[in-house]
Each structure stands twice: as C-alpha cells, then as structure tokens.
Amino acid sequence: MKFGRPVTQRQLRVGEMIKQALSMIFLKDEAKIPNLDTKEITVTEVRMSSDLKTAKAFVLPLGGKNAADVIEHLKSFSYIVRKVLSKKITMKFLPKILFVKDDSFDYAEKIENLIKQTNK
C-alpha cells in the first residue's frame, strides 16, 4: 500500500499516452537497439511521477525469457527509445524513462496457485 499523494488524472493520462507510444515503437521496431528484438517486448504499465518528469515503464519480454538481460539492455539504450519517443508525443518536458521488470504476472500466478491449494 502506498501512502502520500493520490495519483492524478493527468498522471494516468500521460502514463497511458506514453505506454501506447512505447508499445508502438517496440512493435514496429522503430528504436534500433542493437542485439535486441523489441517486437517481443510488452509494455504493461507506465507510472508517471507527480511532476511528470519521470516515467517508470513496466516491461516484460515475451514469455518472460531473459527478462533481466532485456531490462538491462533497455536501460543502457534508453536514450535511443527516448529520442524516438520525442518524435511521437508532444510534451513540454519529455520524461526520463526508467525500465522495470513487471512482476505482476508472477504475483498473480502465485496467488492463483495459493487459491488452488486451499480449494483442494
């Protein structure tokens, strides 16, 4: 549970806009990241900071394979992604993008397994 300021509509809107733009960039392989097939990357969520200067992008490679390596690769080439993103969206300040592995699917699977165990 998080404490502090609630997430504003603006943060949600901007986060969704960046999520869709990143998804299209990866799908169309517009960010030419060496040794990485971006078509296999899923952007599950983008959370914006309250000042809209930082975007935390939750990503997961297809099937969850080599997730740590893919995330590290994205982190080191985030400037390329940011450059392509700047041509896609118009904002006063383009946010810094932080790539994070999305663990929500693992968590959901864990909960599902616990529920199955209790139902037996």
Task: Say how far apart CA 77 and CA 14 lie, in whole Å.
Answer: 22
Task: Say how far apart CA 83 and CA 18 lie, in whole Å.
Answer: 13
Task: Say how far apart CA 42 and CA 39 lie, in whole Å.
Answer: 8
| pLDDT tens-digit readout, 94-113 | 899 999 988 877 777 788 88
Strand order across the 41-48 sheet = 41-48, 54-61, 96-101
Lowest mean pLDDT among 10-19, 63-72, 77-86: 63-72
State pTM to two decimals: 0.81
CATH 3.40.50.11540, applies to 9-119: no
Q: Quick one: 61 exposed, middle or buried, by C-beta within 10 A (0-12, 13-18, 19+)?
A: buried
